[in-house]
Amino acid sequence: MDIVAEWADFISKKGYGMISDEQLSILACPACLGELVRTDNGNSLLCIPCSLSYQVKDGIPVMLPDQAVTIQDQGSGDKNC
């Protein structure tokens, strides 16, 4: 079964449009199969190793590297000694 369809069904039953922790736990970056991190506003999912941001549209993550946005490492939270 198409996993995107499963998410859509899951979301419609839950009645919210944000990616839940449960959903996040089953999501993986299509490029590296690594874990994804949800952004504060829930509108995108980040893959840190790939520096890619996957957009979430209507609660459905767009897990296409072609559609992902490259994020710049701005060094936030990374303190030099």
Q: Is 31 in the site for Zn ion (CB under 5 A)?
A: yes
Which residue in the set 34, 37, 51, 65 belongs to the binding site for Zn ion (CB under 5 A)? 34
Are 56 and 62 contacting, i.e. CB atoms less than 8 angstroms apart? Answer: yes
Count of residues interacting with Zn ion (CB under 5 A) = 6
Q: Is 32 in the site for Zn ion (CB under 5 A)?
A: yes
Are 61 and 53 contacting, i.e. CB atoms less than 8 angstroms apart? Answer: no
End-to-end, the C-alpha distance of the chain in Å comes to 49
Structure tokens of 66?
Answer: 């072609």
Which residue in the set 46, 47, 63, 68 belongs to the binding site for Zn ion (CB under 5 A)? 47
Q: Is 26 in the site for Zn ion (CB under 5 A)?
A: no
Q: Is 29 in the site for Zn ion (CB under 5 A)?
A: yes
Q: How far, in Å, CA of 48 to CA of 31, rounded? A: 11
Q: How far is the CB of 14 from Zn ion (least distance, A)?
A: 26
